[in-house]
A and B are shown apart, each in its own frame.
Chain A
Amino acid sequence: MTTFTPTSATEVLDTVAWAVSEEAPLEILGHGSKRGIGRPAQTEHVIDLSQLTGITLYEPEELVLSARAGTPLAEIEALLSDNRQELAFEPMDYGPLLGGEAGRGTIGGALMSNLSGPRRIKTGAARDHVLGIHAVSGRGEAFKSGGRVVKNVTGYDLSKGLAGSWGTLAVATDVTFKVLPAAETETSVAVRGLTDEQAAFAMAAAMGSSAEVSGAAHLPETVTGKVIDGALKGMASTLFRIEGFGPSVDYRVDSLKHLLASQGEIDTLPPETSRLLWREIRDCRPFSTAHGKPLWRVSMTPSQGHAMVMALRMRTAADVFYDWQGGLIWIQMDVEPGAELLRGLVAANGGGHATLVRAAPSVRAAVPVFQPQPPALAALSARLKEQFDPKGVLNPGRMQG
């Protein structure tokens, strides 16, 4: 096994071109913080992008940042923070959830796994913020797409095409993202003691109001004690984040409290607590200790999440919490992943997709980690893969067997 550690786009090109000529599959690696997601890799060689680093352009007033793909997210976020800006898609940190360190991960990895966070419901995911890429396809050819400006419809958006492709279409060498001003302040509102179903109604009401909620989560009673040092222990918590300029946040918090007054007891969480809370929700902190237990990430119609969970609980033991107004459900199974059961219930409750983000390698080799697609869509995806990587040298089998 050889690990290639390129330090330039040219070296990435040379490596992939060599792999193509040898038909030698490569595992594409950044920091490896999400290496445990997907079918276990079975490649002879590794291309390690962690030395392909550096922020190559940052113009705060133009809201744009470019970096080499292996640049640590932490470095980018620190620089943005110094300028009171941020990656508004709030990329989650999978590290601790998968048994690794916190604070790892590269900007290229953020794109390839289409990371997002609680703000997904308002501001989008990595796919919504990427402006341009330079990459090397599995044909061993360098190409670029997009640019450095927000408004651009010149040609196909291959940058979005790579979002969520888990390194199976191309190796990104440089990426350009839109950045945005960070909120001046934030406050969270917690409604206590709601059932999952009541929470779904409360979250729909809040998201449909003009309070501009940037996070809506529901932590059932079994989970609520596992965030912000147990401060919410005891009663289920339905949580809402309000971000922005001071006077605006005050005003919107008041209007949201007024809207939700009849729902239950209401607490207000100050900025520091609110920041910690949403970081922990973002990183799925409640389920980051039981590393042996299978963990699912389900995206479905927000108002139908609670019904799916109720049906699931009739059949198996599962611990859950909801983000994205109930449309993102983290489900920790006790022993078996129960893929068919869960996916069947998601399909029966409005559809969506379930990803097995944590499970032992043997399980991931046997159970489809990513949601299987209907035949016509699967065939189209396979044709797209063929067009980018005809020899199957890039992360073969990671997304499907």
Chain B
Amino acid sequence: MSGPAMPKPDQATLARREEIVADMRVIVPGEGVVDAVNSMRAFESDGLTAYRQLPLVVVLPETTAQVSRILKYCSDRNIRVVPRGSGTSLSGGALPLEDAVLLVMSRFNRILDIDYANRAVVAQPGVTNLGITKAVEEEGFYYAPDPSSQIACSIGGNVAENSGGVHCLKYGLTANNVLGIEMVLMDGEVVRLGGKHLDAEGYDLLGLMTGSEGLLGVVTEVTVRILQAPETARAMLVGFPSSEEAGQCVADIIGVGIIPGGMEMMDRPAIHAAEDFVHAGYPLDVEALLIVELDGPQAEVDHLLSRVEEIAAKNGATTSRVSNSDTERAAFWAGRKAAFPAVGRISPDYYCMDGTIPRKELPKVLAGMREMSEKYGLRVANVFHAGDGNLHPLILYDANQPGELERAEDFGADILKLCVAVGGVLTGEHGVGVEKRDLMPEMFTEADLNQQIRVKCAFDPEHLLNPGKVFPQLHRCAELGRMHIHRGKMPFPDIPRF
């Protein structure tokens, strides 16, 4: 992919590369500075592999003091910095820049404190999401947000992206499960937000930081909430003759007050691809398949399963199975979890989208996608976090066929525009990054975007941290600070005031 235009490299910085590398070696001694082209290749892209760029230099600090010195050094010399966790972003959030230091946080890989009494874990940002659960599971605890990349993605990256997963409807996103962070601002200042206590003493800067995609500060420590794992979990596999009926079933389940631990939907192409791949036992004669997982005490799960079965039957379910063992439950999920690679088997390439829509608009959006599929001559398979309306259309294409890639990108953009048009959003959990940056005006006016950029100005006024991501244009802060004041008369003089 050609990709959206990135900020023009600063020639002065490129010219000083050797000096910068040497200075980085002073700050981070040993193996922590990588400048050989061959070694830097490993860092040239993230999970959005279509975009690639070698950085100026790769630096892997080990301490907060080093991060602070690196950022201060770069800030003083107007050098750009791109932070990176495990590099699993699907939106190009960690895509390097030619003239930027790539700050890789993977050596921050220790868990610092496990505090069961306060149900908190303090971890360095390079610890993986699953690593936190692994560290506490022997006591029966876990960390709830579970993005599909949880085996690899880092907790610091989760904060940057406000990562979700299949359990968000019941257990929340990263933002709802992070209690505190330590971070370094671009000028090298170290600040702590939150801790093991709840809420902020001033502005909710933690709320702003979560999901800021590495543009506001570099996270150097994270405190998360851990939960006692549910006593049991059982899943139901329900097939429907149409997506409308499946959608109504989801609405009715929530309507009677049930919030399942997970609720996933797949459409016919996704069902078939998954079944061919992992033989999960999915019915092949249905248009939509729901996986409903209920978790909690045995008594609750049994009680709710029977109600969900009734609701499914009432909505015309043609097949319905309940898991009777953890093995069977895992089998129900196996197909869904393998959906992306399964689609990868039936098409040379695929492009994964990530819009969120009000659930009731699902039939309209699916119909829209069918039309677009014909228009662009490309197939599409859908997996859907049905509980919270987060849709992952997978557009099938072949990059070796001239023009297909461009058509896939246009198709994807059209899907996201449709999501916004029906009241949804461009991205539910993958982030804006580079990928959806230029679609931001579909959802936001210039005034909306400018107010977001002003937040950026409070944290990083020179736009040195991760530029080229999220915002289509980063206006200079001085320009944004100007006030256009219209000397006015008293407002709405006709209405009562006293």
Contacts and interface: CB of A to CB of B under 8 A. Distances in A.
- Asked if chains A and B come from one complex, the reply is yes
Q: What are the 7 A-B residue pairs with the smallest beta carbon separation, nearest first?
A: A160-B207, A248-B300, A181-B257, A353-B201, A14-B491, A371-B201, A151-B428
Contacts of B140: 210
Contact of B428 (A3, A59, A153, A353): A153
Contacts of B308: none
A377 interface: yes
Contacts of B36: none
Contacts of B492: 4, 6, 11, 14-15
A198 to B, nearest CB: 13
A82 interface: no
Nearest to B449: A155
Contacts of B449: 155
Given A164-B199, A164-B200, A399-B202, A208 B259 contact: no
A367 to B, nearest CB: 15
A152 B356 contact: yes
18 contacts: A3-B498, A11-B495, A14-B491, A14-B492, A61-B359, A120-B198, A127-B199, A127-B207, A150-B169, A151-B428, A154-B443, A158-B451, A208-B116, A244-B300, A350-B195, A377-B202, A381-B203, A387-B457
Contacts of B496: 5
B360 A62 contact: yes
Interface in B454-477: 454-459, 470
Interface string A286-327: 000000000000011111000000000000000000001001
Interface of A: 2-7, 11, 14-15, 17-18, 20-21, 59-64, 84-85, 114, 116, 120-121, 124-125, 127-128, 137, 139-145, 147-158, 160-161, 163-165, 169, 180-182, 184, 204, 207-210, 212, 244-248, 250-252, 255, 299-303, 324, 327-328, 350-353, 355, 370-371, 373-374, 376-381, 383-388, 390-391, 399
A161 B423 contact: no
B432 A155 contact: yes
Contact of A301 (B118, B358, B489): B118
B53 to A, nearest CB: 23
Nearest to B390: A151
B452 to A, nearest CB: 4
Main SS at interface, chain A: mixed
B403 interface: no
B486 A248 contact: no
Interface stretch (B75-83, B184-192, B264-272): B184-192
A7 B202 CA distance: 30
Given A155-B452, A245-B304, A147 B117 contact: no
Contacts of A139: 483
A151 B455 contact: no
Contacts, number: 312
Given A125-B199, A373-B201, A151 B389 contact: yes
Contacts of A301: 118, 195-197
Contacts of B452: 145, 155-156, 158
Contact of A208 (B117, B445, B495): B117
B241 interface: no
B99 interface: no
B205 A210 contact: no
A149 B425 contact: yes
B119 interface: yes
B490 interface: yes
A210 B229 contact: yes
Interface in B354-410: 356-360, 385, 388-390
A18 B208 contact: no
Contacts of B259: 180-181
A376 B182 CA distance: 12
Contacts of A155: 432, 440, 443-444, 448-449, 452, 470
Given A150-B169, A380-B205, 15 more contacts: A59-B360, A62-B389, A127-B207, A143-B448, A151-B356, A151-B388, A153-B161, A164-B200, A208-B228, A303-B118, A327-B118, A379-B189, A384-B205, A385-B203, A390-B483
B195 A154 contact: no
A390 B302 CA distance: 57
A388 B203 CA distance: 12
A5 B494 CA distance: 11
Contacts of B488: 14, 17-18, 21
A149 B495 contact: no
Interface string B273-294: 0000000000000000000000
Given A150-B168, A370-B202, A20 B425 contact: no
Nearest to A383: B458
B195 A251 contact: no
Contact of A61 (B205, B229, B254): B254
Contacts of A207: 119
A34 to B, nearest CB: 15
A151 B429 contact: yes
A64 to B, nearest CB: 8
Given A4-B491, A150-B389, A300-B197, A157 B210 contact: yes
B490 A302 contact: no
A301 B491 CA distance: 47
B48 to A, nearest CB: 15
A163 B425 CA distance: 21
Contacts of A353: 197, 199-201
A117 to B, nearest CB: 12
Given A149-B424, A245-B304, A62 B359 contact: yes
Contact of A153 (B211, B360, B445): B211
A370 B259 CA distance: 37
A292 B254 CA distance: 47
Nearest to A213: B228
B458 A387 contact: yes
A148 B26 CA distance: 49
A18 B497 CA distance: 15
A251 to B, nearest CB: 4
A373 B202 contact: yes
B185 A380 contact: yes
Nearest to A6: B492
B211 A157 contact: yes
Nearest to A182: B257
A256 B429 CA distance: 36
A150 B203 contact: no
A156 B208 CA distance: 6
- Most chain B CB within 10 A, of A4, A59, A150, A391, is at A150
Contacts of A141: 447, 450-451
B255 interface: yes
Given A384-B205, A387-B454, A387-B455, A160 B195 contact: no
Interface stretch (B101-109, B171-179, B321-329): B171-179
Interface in B421-436: 423-432, 436
B162 interface: yes
B310 interface: no
A310 to B, nearest CB: 17
Contacts of B231: 210
Contacts of B304: 245
A249 B334 CA distance: 32
B451 A137 contact: yes
Interface string B207-223: 11011100000000000
Given A18-B490, A21-B487, A380-B185, A114 B257 contact: no
A3 B359 CA distance: 42
Contact of B176 (A116, A124, A182): A124
A247 B483 contact: no
Given A383-B458, A387-B458, A184 B257 contact: yes
